[in-house]
Structure 1
């Protein structure tokens, strides 16, 4: 069951102040001290200790959310009570706020949940140039959108434009911050009001005027992979007479057929953009709350891989674009099969081979390695 998203005025007048009030009440209580001590114990002592970890992270997230809300309120005041909030200077200030707050959040996640993020076989060509990019990632588990936004902001000095589900606006910090930045909250077709713009149109508008530092982040699968969704996508392709794409989708074991409308609309509006496809493992089994509870403490290594495609290698004819997108998704699926992290694997970073040079690293970023057998870009088909 999905709760209906309340109107914006309810989210601003009730939800956002409510988070701040809860945070203010939480700080002076003895409960916070107990949670802090239990959190420190959970970090020092091996083992699950699920309850202290969950209590600490929940308390920290409430405080983090409240800090974002208060900082955003300060920017709203400074912008003339919102009159100038969408001007370039304040837009950049909001990106800086997002960067700093995500850095704090991931520091805490790594500390409490023992979570490592490792980027390997990095084909960073397009990302490290002054070319606008469209980043298309698989969607698996909680937090992958946070990880990618953090990576674009902190590691690659990009200003991301992101496509997200509208239900994420239940979180006041996300609601306030991303509604001031270039972002699109997409409503599922079944819940969409009559006459409302579809997801593809919204993504196309978001891709307009992509600049050299911009990166549009999209998850073409539209949600976590489930057997029901995977089979429904295959059947929909087959019913539409797209048997070749359906056959490709049937070969995908870890991902499901991507929705092509959004990413292809973005490429239509931003032909100057390169494309980066992103695969990752480590969060695949975390779909439900029960999954997260079972896996705590995470003690996980999230492994990420990217393939970049320069603008002049992106196909422009629609049928060729769809085949190219599905071929890229098959490549992601194959990489996941080869790099899937075992359920019981501890979070650790393997030694780097002598001939695997470090391509990119910062004090806050994971090590990014280029393996000697790294393959090239996905060729257009």
Structure 2
């Protein structure tokens, strides 16, 4: 059960700062211990030092965000959204820079070619982002790109348990996002999506992951079985044809489109670190140099289907396109 907000503020947030100071003071010790433990491993498997460096960098940045949020609260700026979006932009830029240096991360984003009018339009209308869900870094990279290139203010519906992260808890709760407790179920998620989408301005972006979770073969089989049990034979057949994605849940995407019909829709595919789902996966499988490739497809609001059944088929059409793109990327990598 998630502790009350006042307890999270008085205990968890200060604890992060205390742990950060401890790690900084004892950093030489951890580096020596990690280096000694890695001597017998081949170079590609010597991940310990990199994880220590990145962990300390992350803690330091988290502490800086918490201190900045405290200052904003004392100065009366806790409700100033633009300052908090700037703080998120700074944090993500620093984390991304650390990942580039420490993990040799490269990010290649293939965006659609736009005419001059389309280029202008993409910056003057709200957008609904429908992204595949794969690995721990997809949300981070997606939000970083929205903030940096599109200059958008992302809105996300998240699990309430993520509030255990103090900096996320403080910053995100001061902005138009939603933390949904497990007991709220699917209905609660849909209601929050409707609320966030209906109040978007031209500078906002609602981010949705229609799969509802990371891909695994077992989850794929269960999802197809559920479609069959509901009598959705067409959707089940199309899901069987996708090897790298879970079938999308259409209700969230359709609710967002209905609540904000003026929004353009962007579909996002990405691959590169798909197998790194858990912390254990990251520890065992993280390559010496990491590369993530992403591709975006933009659909103007006027081209989004109007009827529900047409929208479901349209969503599956794009999911099949994403699945084919992932297959092509993997084939190019191995071939």
TM over 0.5: yes
**Correspondence 1:275-290 to 2 at 5 A:** 275-290=265-280
Structure 1 residue 108, shift from structure 2 partner: 0.3
Structure 1 residues 329 and 48 mapped into 2: Cα distance closer, same or farther (>3 Å)? same
Higher share in helix: 2
Q: Aligned partners of 1:164, 1:30: CA distance in 2, in Å?
A: 33
Question: SS of the residue aligned with 2:108?
Answer: strand
The structure 1 residue matched to 2:201, chosen from 181, 206, 211, is 211
Q: Aligned partners of 1:110, 1:283: CA distance in 2, in Å?
A: 14
| Residue equivalent to 2:39 | none
Structure 1 residue 23, shift from structure 2 partner: 1.4
**Contact persistence 1:233–1:256 (CA under 8 A):** yes
Q: Aligned partners of 2:187, 2:8: CA distance in 1, in Å?
A: 22
**Contact persistence 2:44–2:288 (CA under 8 A):** no
Structure 1 residue 182, shift from structure 2 partner: 1.3
How large is the Cα RMSD of the aligned pairs?
2.6
Structure 1 residues 222 and 293 mapped into 2: Cα distance closer, same or farther (>3 Å)? same
Question: SS of the residue aligned with 2:273?
Answer: coil
Q: Aligned partners of 2:126, 2:9: CA distance in 1, in Å?
A: 33
**Contact persistence 1:163–1:219 (CA under 8 A):** no
1:185 aligns with 2:176: no
Structure 1 residue 49, shift from structure 2 partner: 1.9
TM-score for the superposition, normalised by structure 1 = 0.79
Structure 1 residue 321, shift from structure 2 partner: 1.0
Structure 1 residues 341 and 217 mapped into 2: Cα distance closer, same or farther (>3 Å)? farther
Gaps of 5+ in 2: 36-41
CA offsets per residue over residues 18-62 of structure 1, 9 Å max, x none? 101111233333537847x97xxxxxx964421111111112111
Q: Aligned partners of 1:152, 1:251: CA distance in 2, in Å?
A: 31
Gaps of 5+ in 1: 39-44, 346-381
**Contact persistence 2:30–2:52 (CA under 8 A):** no
**Contact persistence 1:282–1:301 (CA under 8 A):** yes
| Residue equivalent to 2:55 | 58
The structure 2 residue matched to 1:103, chosen from 93, 115, 136, is 93
| Residue equivalent to 1:133 | 127
Give the length in aligned residue pairs: 327
| Residue equivalent to 1:358 | none
Structure 1 residue 76, shift from structure 2 partner: 1.3
The structure 1 residue matched to 2:310, chosen from 308, 320, 335, is 320
**Correspondence 1:62-77 to 2 at 5 A:** 62-77=59-74
**Contact persistence 1:281–1:341 (CA under 8 A):** no
**Contact persistence 1:138–1:221 (CA under 8 A):** yes
| Residue equivalent to 1:267 | 257
| Residue equivalent to 1:304 | 294
Structure 1 residue 151, shift from structure 2 partner: 0.5
Question: SS of the residue aligned with 1:156?
Answer: coil
**Contact persistence 1:114–1:297 (CA under 8 A):** no
Structure 1 residue 296, shift from structure 2 partner: 3.0
| Residue equivalent to 1:247 | 237
**Contact persistence 2:112–2:298 (CA under 8 A):** no
| Residue equivalent to 1:17 | 14
Question: SS of the residue aligned with 1:253?
Answer: coil
